[in-house]
Amino acid sequence: MKTLRRPQRAPFDPVTQDVPTRTWTVLAQDPSVLGPGGRALTTTVSVPAERLEAGPKGHRINVIDFDATRNVYYKPRPKDLYSDRYENVRDIQKLVSDPYFHQQNVYATAMSVLADFQTALGRSVPWGFAPAGGTGSAHHLKIAPHAFADPNAYYARESESLSFGYFTGQSGKTAFTCLSHDIVAHETSHALLDGMRSFYLRPSHVDQSAFHEGFADVVALLSILKSTELVELALADISDRANLIASRDLSYESLRQKSILFKLAKQFNRELSFVRGDALRHSVALKPSPKWLSQQEYQEPHRRGEILVAAISQAFLRVWCKRLEPIGTERGIALNRAVVAEEAARAAEHLLHIMIRALDYVPPVDLVFGDYLSALLTADMQLYPDDSKFHYRRQLRDAFATFGITPSSPKRKDGAWDPPEDAEKLIFDGVHFEPLRSDLNEVFRFLWENRDALGIDPDAFTRVTSVRPCTRVSTDGLVLRETVVEYVQTLRVFAHELRLFGIRKPEGLSGQTFLPLYGGGTLVFNEYGHVKFHIGTGVRSKRQSARLQSLYDSGAFNRDADQTSHFADLHRRRMLGGAGHPEEQW
């Protein structure tokens, strides 16, 4: 009889007992963006130090290198899992031809995006899928770096995975989407956003569909701009001398016309642009105007998402210029290119964290761009009350306004959310503070006791979907402790009943159509258990008219397909030309 032997486990890296992070080498952008002398342009990312198994496989990400097209499983690196063997490799062909580097690239890039989310939010972030046959969140996001022979890449909730394709490019060489920093960051952002706001994959207002795409694009863009190596390279073309940049080239208008953003848009690999698409090119070149929101072309989610990218890109440039003023642009002197790049990286990181923190201050359903703008302003104001130095919030308000997007909070001049109007009427009798920070049932009791003061519809089915305590620390040392609660309501009615609620029925929709109305809210408690914000919309809100019209125009009432599983199909339709410029995938 044979004795079964336990599989060999990778030895535990002793360094993880001493330091919380580990650095890995990844491509700063993609194989087409090379550094001086034609060398590979790489950068390092810091990720949480953890015990690894071959894959790499950690506690949140499991790289499974299976190729469905060829029905082949590519073995992961079996040894030396904790050392960065590519730290000093500058030959781009060696990196492109090494499947072990591909595996490291997707693992490290995805983990760095996850780390950014958790740092900004001050807590762990779940994935948006439950374990088989269970509830809650599954622990592992599966990543397939060579999933299929196809110019595509997407996140799929059903398979709990990110899938990256490969294909033969125009040069005749194989192009790998897993080697593009922004594609990997983009898809990882979809998975994380789905984990935080699962209802954003459901049909709703066109802004909500566009937000998923635009948000992932901006996270990818700002993640790239955090790399000083890439920023320095992009600035090289506008340098007067080897390492200096004239102040005249660092004005807002100059940067907008020939800045790093345009440089990056032009540098993006033409072969990978078939997958990535022209989203960044279009967004950077998009001239600010309120007219885009109403044009038919921008009712398509990917195109509409470009408006969000354009607004935040414009805010980034203005903040970058503001950060350069104290170090010399106001005095008209030339600045060191490395210093300029460092200020860009800091601006990108701060904006990225504001964007991510804002997810805690948005409604759980029926999001519009104005909601997200108010969330951005609130998120920054809570952690950085004094904005007088670089004016991040003013730049965001002004940039969004040029595209016709105004805050959804109408009463405050600064555009942030107001505390609930009837906060003094809230009842806390019988509600225990400690379980209120973690127990869904305790939060539901609070909602039950306060449904009148909170304006919660008594006829709708109400469900608390998440309770998330968090602790955030600003660079100024301010500690902010909050508990973020999300609840969702569903009310099913016949279309002919909508008029009873003051909701407009789409013309042409049968009155006998049985349809769901979704509502809900985000409650933010402070560290003493008091309600700071109640952000959301009711199931009978006037906003339902726009939502239903958007669904009707998109044909949502004419199909029964699962609306949460359309990522790959949507990408493929774009790739085949259905949306005009089909390359970008998610």
Q: What is the pLDDT of residues 236-279, one digit of tens each?
A: 776 656 788 877 777 777 777 665 665 555 554 555 555 555 55
Q: Which two tokens stand for residue 47?
A: 């990720």
Is the predicted pLDDT of residue 584 greater than 50, yes or no?
no
Q: Report which of 389, 388, 406 is spatially closest to residue 397, judged by C-alpha positions.
A: 406
pLDDT value for 127:
92
Q: Which two tokens stand for residue 280?
A: 């960044």
For residue range 1-36, list pLDDT tens digits in order.
445 555 555 555 555 556 688 899 999 888 888 877
| Range scoring the smallest mean pLDDT among 33-47, 366-380, 437-451, 557-571 | 557-571
pLDDT value for 466:
92
Beta carbons within 8 Å of 304's beta carbon, 6+ residues apart: 206, 207, 209, 210, 214, 293, 298
- pLDDT higher for 456 or 203? 456
Q: What does the alpha-carbon distance between residue 138 and residue 131 come to, in Å, rounded to a whole number? A: 5
- Encoded amino acid at 409, one letter: S
For residue range 460-507, list pLDDT tens digits in order.
999 999 999 999 998 888 899 999 999 999 999 999 999 998 899 988
State the average pLDDT over residues 557-582: 47
Which whole-number Å values give the CA distances from 411 to 31, 378, 400, 418, 432, in the listed order?
A: 49, 14, 18, 8, 33
For CA atoms 365, 368, 372, 377, the dihedral sign is: negative
pLDDT value for 561:
43
pLDDT value for 576:
40
Is the predicted pLDDT of residue 568 greater than 50, yes or no?
yes
Q: What is the CA radius of gyration of the chain?
A: 24
pLDDT value for 553:
82
Q: Which residue has the tokens 């269970």?
A: 134
- pLDDT higher for 247 or 298? 298
Length of the chain in terms of residues written = 586
Own/partner contacts of 379-387, CB < 8 Å, gap of 24 or more, are 379/354, 380/354, 381/414, 381/416, 382/480, 382/482, 383/357, 383/472, 383/474, 383/478, 383/480, 384/474, 384/476, 384/478, 385/478
**Residue 486, SS3?**
strand
pLDDT value for 365:
92
pLDDT above 90: percentage of residues in the chain: 44
Which whole-number Å values give the CA distances from 352 to 345, 375, 432, in the listed order?
A: 10, 14, 35
- pLDDT higher for 30 or 565? 30
| Range scoring the smallest mean pLDDT among 117-131, 256-270, 398-412 | 256-270
pLDDT value for 263:
58
For residue range 126-184, list pLDDT tens digits in order.
998 876 555 566 789 999 999 999 888 999 998 999 999 998 877 788 889 999 998 99
Q: What is the 3-state secondary structure (H, E, C) of 487-543?
A: EEEEEEEEHHHHHHHCCCCCCCCCCCCEEEEEEEEEEEEECCCCEEEEEEECCCCCH
Report pTM: 0.89
pLDDT value for 168:
85
- pLDDT higher for 261 or 377? 377
pLDDT value for 151:
87
Q: What is the 3-state secondary structure (H, E, C) of 499-513?
A: HHHCCCCCCCCCCCC
For residue range 306-362, list pLDDT tens digits in order.
999 999 998 998 999 899 888 877 666 778 888 888 999 999 999 999 999 999 999
